[in-house]
Structure formats: structure tokens, C-alpha cells
Structure 1
Amino acid sequence: MKSKQLLPVLLLLLLTIQLSAQDSLSVENPRLIENPEEAQDLEEEQDYKPYNALAPAKAAFYSAILPGLGQIYNGRIWKVPLVYAGIGIPIYFYIDNDRQYDRYRTAYKQRLAGREDEFAGRISDQGLRSAQELYQRNKEISILVAIGFYALNIIDANVDAHLQQFNVSEDLSLKPNYNLDKFTGKSNYGFSLNFKF
């Protein structure tokens, strides 16, 4: 009876030893570097970029100074036209709504002064007041949208700089791990997900 229980445990142990022996990554012995020139050459050979903690803040600062400059700093030049369209179109609508507001405001003032205006006979006094309110509201919305795109430009530069510093390697693997209880000698069943950084 004991031999029937011992056989699966031995097979499991042999299987785990076999799996752990099949690690594809080999550990190289570290070299001692004595002169600074050799150290600089070794740094140039590294295949990863060192972590720059100030890169997101720098990108956000550049975008705050000049919209789109943070995107250029991050290497995302294709986003610059989107940034300027997002900020420029609401500014265009602000200027257009401001012209229309001034036009209806001038006509309303002329009508109150008893003079002839460009909308005489076509638009009532209430219509002129409503048009002024409409264009005033549209001006305010246009400014809010432009400010929103400006803030989005800064946030995008910051987040993009953060995401560029993640190391996404091709070495993604699934490694089973068998856990034996040291006291009872029985295997524990479960599932775990491990991340190595």
C-alpha cells in the first residue's frame, strides 16, 4: 500500500527536477571592470534604456509651455496635428461666436437707441437677446473645450512618457510549480500567477 503512494510522489519529484533543469536562461558570470573606459563601453552594449524618472515630468512641462512639444519629446510626432486641431478648432469657434455676438449686440443697442439696424423687420427684440445669449454660451463652451484639449495634451505627454519606460520583453513563459507539504508529504493543489519584474 505504501509503495502505491510512494510511486506518484517519486514521479512528481522527478518531474519537478526535470522541469527546473530546463531553464532556457543561462546566468553569466559577472566581469570585474577595472578601467572607466571599459565600463562606458559596457553601458553602451546594454540592450535596454535606463529608467529616467524625470522623463514624464519633462514631457508634461514641455507640453505645458508649447502644446505638442511634449509629444515631440516622446517621439510621437504624429500626435502634434491632433493637438493643434483639438486646441485650434475651439479657438476658431470662439472667434466666430464672438463676431456673431458683437453683431447681434450692436444691432440690439442700435434698436434700443431708436436707430435702424441690419436685422430691422426680420428679428424681434427678444430674438436679438436670445441670439446674444446663444453666442455668449457658445463662446464659453468653446473656451472650455480648448482648455480641456490643452489639459489633455499635457496629460497625454505625461502618460506616454510613463508608458515608454515599461520593459516589455519577449520572454513570457508559464512555469508550473509543484508544492509539497513538508509535514504531511502530500501535494498542495492550487493555482498561482507570478510576475517577475
Structure 2
Amino acid sequence: MPKNYSIRSSFIDTAETDITYPDPKKVLKQSLMIPGWGQVTNKQTWKVPIVYGLIGGLTYYSVYLHKKYHDYRAAYYNLNPDTPDDNRFGDTPDYIPDNANLSALQQNRNFFRNRRDLVYVFVGLSYALNAIDAYVFAHLRSFDVSDDLSMGVEIQPAIIATNYATHAPSISFSINF
């Protein structure tokens, strides 16, 4: 049976109530299994479209970059006179002219490959950020954010015993949270 944290809280105008919060480790595992599940468990469903929009948008962009990389790779090898014309990477796309500059094709191929790889890293970071967000919020969920977050400072005179027979005047300073 999963552990739940239970915090007994009392307010001035209400009776004592028991509030249970989900286990942060369980929330972390849920978010790692299915992105957004931890946010739903934490009752932050408004974050789920953001999570899926970010991961989905980056994934879509990586697929686009991957297709462009394959197009320029095929064009570079098909139009290069040093490589045999075997079309091993597919046909040259129609939007790339047959008289294209080989160094420009190679630069475009490398650009799309590097950008695609960088977007893969961002997809992984977005996935991890989703899980970290759910885990941290599950830990901070029991944090008191009521309007009664006050601090009391008190300064008053006091007497300190310096040794067995003598006393010295002093000032007492205390802070209550």
C-alpha cells in the first residue's frame, strides 16, 4: 500500500481536519511513466497541456529536422561525383537542384543533423522537467501559504547571572515564527 503523508492542521475559524498528500516518490514514478500523470495526482491539471505541448512540439520539430537531414544527405551523396550513383540514401528531392553546390549541401546536411540532435536533448530535458516539477510540488504541497505567516520580534530587559553572587543587566532579543 503506498504511503501518504498526513498533516493535521487547524485554523482559527474551522475545526481540525486531516489532509493527506501524495507520496513524492510515487508522483515522480508516475510522471516518469506517463508525462503529466504526476501533475494530475498533484491536482495541477492546468500544467498537463503545457507538458504535452512542449514535448509534442519539440518531437514534431525533431521529425521535421530529421526529414530535412535525410533529404540533404541523399542529395549530397547522389550529386557528389566521387560517390557511386547508387541512390543508397534515396532519390534526390525535387526542391534541390541537380547543379547544387556540394559544400552547401554538406553544410545544410550537417546543420539539420546537429539541430535535430540538439532538439533530442531538449525533448529529454522537457521530459525530465515534467517529472522534477511533479516531484518538487508534491514535496512542497504541505507548505503553509496561508495569510497568517507572521513573525514576532520581542526585545525586553533581562538580568544575567555572571557568576554565583553577581548579576548583570542585559537585553533579551527573541524572534517567534
Distance 1:87 1:171 in 2: 38
Give the corresponding residue for 2:71.
103
Distance 1:47 1:76 in 2: 22
Give the corresponding residue for 2:44.
76
Q: Deviations over 1:114-138 (max 9, x none)?
A: 5894423552011111111000001
Give the corresponding residue for 1:153.
130
Paired residue total: 148
Distance 1:124 1:130 in 2: 10
Question: What is the Cα-based RMSD across aligned positions, in Å?
Answer: 2.4
In structure 2, do the counterparts of structure 1 residues 108 and 182 end up closer, same or farther at CA, with 3 Å as the change threshold? Answer: closer
The correspondence for 2:170, drawn from 187, 191, 196, is 187
Counterpart of 2:175, as a letter, is: L
Does 2:16 match 1:46?
yes
Q: TM-score, normalised by structure 2?
A: 0.73
Counterpart of 1:165, as a letter, is: S
Task: Give the % identical residues.
Answer: 28
Q: Deviations over 1:19-40 (max 9, x none)?
A: xxxxxxxxxxxxxxxxxxxxxx
In structure 2, do the counterparts of structure 1 residues 171 and 82 end up closer, same or farther at CA, with 3 Å as the change threshold? Answer: closer
Identify the structure with the greater strand proportion.
2
Instruction: Tell which has more relative contact order, 1 or 2 (C-alpha 8 A, sep 6+).
Output: 1
In the alignment, is the contact (CA less than 8 A) between 2:28 and 2:135 conserved in 1?
yes
Identify the structure with the greater helix proportion.
1
Q: Deviations over 1:80-135 (max 9, x none)?
A: 01111121111111100011011111111211345894423552011111111000
Instruction: Give the structure with higher Rg (CA).
Output: 1
Q: Which runs of 5+ in 1 are unaligned?
A: 1-44
Distance 1:111 1:105 in 2: 10
Counterpart of 1:135, as a letter, is: F
Distance 1:105 1:154 in 2: 36
Q: Which runs of 5+ in 2 are unaligned?
A: 1-14, 162-166
Report SS of the residue matched to 1:178: strand
Counterpart of 2:39, as a letter, is: Q
Offset, 1:64: 0.3
Q: Which stretches of structure 1, 4 residues or more, deviate above 6 A after TM superposition?
A: none
Distance 1:142 1:94 in 2: 6
- 1:1-197 map, 5 Å: 46-49=16-19, 55-112=23-80, 113=84, 117=92, 118=94, 119-121=96-98, 123-169=100-146, 170=148, 172-174=150-152, 176-183=154-161, 184=167, 186-188=169-171, 191-195=173-177
